[in-house]
Amino acid sequence: MRAKLQNILSRLPLTEQMRRFATDVRGIGGVEFALIAPLLLFLYITSFELTIGLSVSKRVTRTASTVADLVTQQAKVTTSDLQQMTSVANAIFTPYQPQNLKMKITGVTIDASSNPTVAWSWAQDGSRPYSNGSAVNVPTDMRSASTFLVRAEVSVTHQLLMFMPGLMPSSLQTITLNREFYYRQRVGTSITCDGC
């Protein structure tokens, strides 16, 4: 059959062969698919990565907010109470496992002149991340004189799963997500912390 087709084509003038080639539509679907499929696959993987990344980012925000909210409902906390906030964070992140979860909780006293200073601080590893009495950067709209704030800082790393795994350096495949929230005390005029 192939020899017969070549025999027919050899008898046709070159312009007739070119016209037939230009009007032949067999295999166009395969060519279009070969051109579009990589782009569609790239868009699908990118949207998948963005969806998971936004979900993790929301959970970081929710964790910082919830931790600050829970601490401000107490008049007094201990380091063991604050250590329980790690369990709270893990529950909020379900079904994800937070990678390199770092949490800092700070009690902030704002004096009569609206100057914020650290009253106490606690980090997830049990250390004191900020020295007592040091200045704190608090948003200006939260600097009410003679009040007390709790600042919760949460940080996790997010690993991109499939986005160009062989083309991007590993340092660009890991994103650190940080959030901080400020809440006012709910009970009394301040919150004390034993062991902080």
Predicted pLDDT of residue 83: 94
Name the residue ranges covered by the structural domains of the chain.
26-194
Contact criterion met (CB below 8 Å) for 60 and 177 = yes
Q: CA-CA distance, 112 to 144, in Å (whole number)?
A: 8
Predicted pLDDT of residue 53: 87
Predicted pLDDT of residue 80: 92
Helices (H), the chain: 2-11, 14-23, 28-72, 79-83, 85-93
- pLDDT tens digits, 97-136: 888 999 999 999 999 999 999 999 999 988 899 999 999 9
What is the CA 93 to chain-centroid distance, rounded? Answer: 11
Q: CA-CA distance, 70 to 88, in Å (whole number)?
A: 10
Q: CA-CA distance, 39 to 52, in Å (whole number)?
A: 20
Q: Which residues of the chain carry a pLDDT beneath 70?
A: 1-22, 162-172
Predicted pLDDT of residue 50: 86
